[in-house]
Amino acid sequence: MTTKLDKPLKREVQIGDKAYTLTIDPAGLKLVEKGHRKGVEVDWTEIAARESSG
């Protein structure tokens, strides 16, 4: 059974010595260093395109 992703899901991720917030939502993924506002965003269509081209 799977659960539909209908609202943002946030988790803290430790990468090296820095803490990040990973947000997974219906639009895609966002990884932001904790305490910052800007980060890396990837939408689901980009991920799906990579999967189908590989």
pLDDT digits (tens, 9 = 90+) for 8-49: 999 999 999 999 999 999 999 999 999 999 999 999 999 999
Task: Note the pLDDT of residue 50.
Answer: 85
Task: Note the pLDDT of residue 18.
Answer: 97
Q: Which two tokens stand for residue 10?
A: 């946030």
Residue 30, beta-bridge partner list: 23, 41
CA nearest 30: which of 50, 52, 47, 49?
47
Task: Note the pLDDT of residue 52.
Answer: 77
Find where tokens 């090296």 sit.
16
Burial group, residue 32, by CB count within 10 angstroms (0-12, 13-18, 19+): middle
Task: Note the pLDDT of residue 54.
Answer: 62
Task: Note the pLDDT of residue 51.
Answer: 77
pTM of the entire predicted model: 0.83
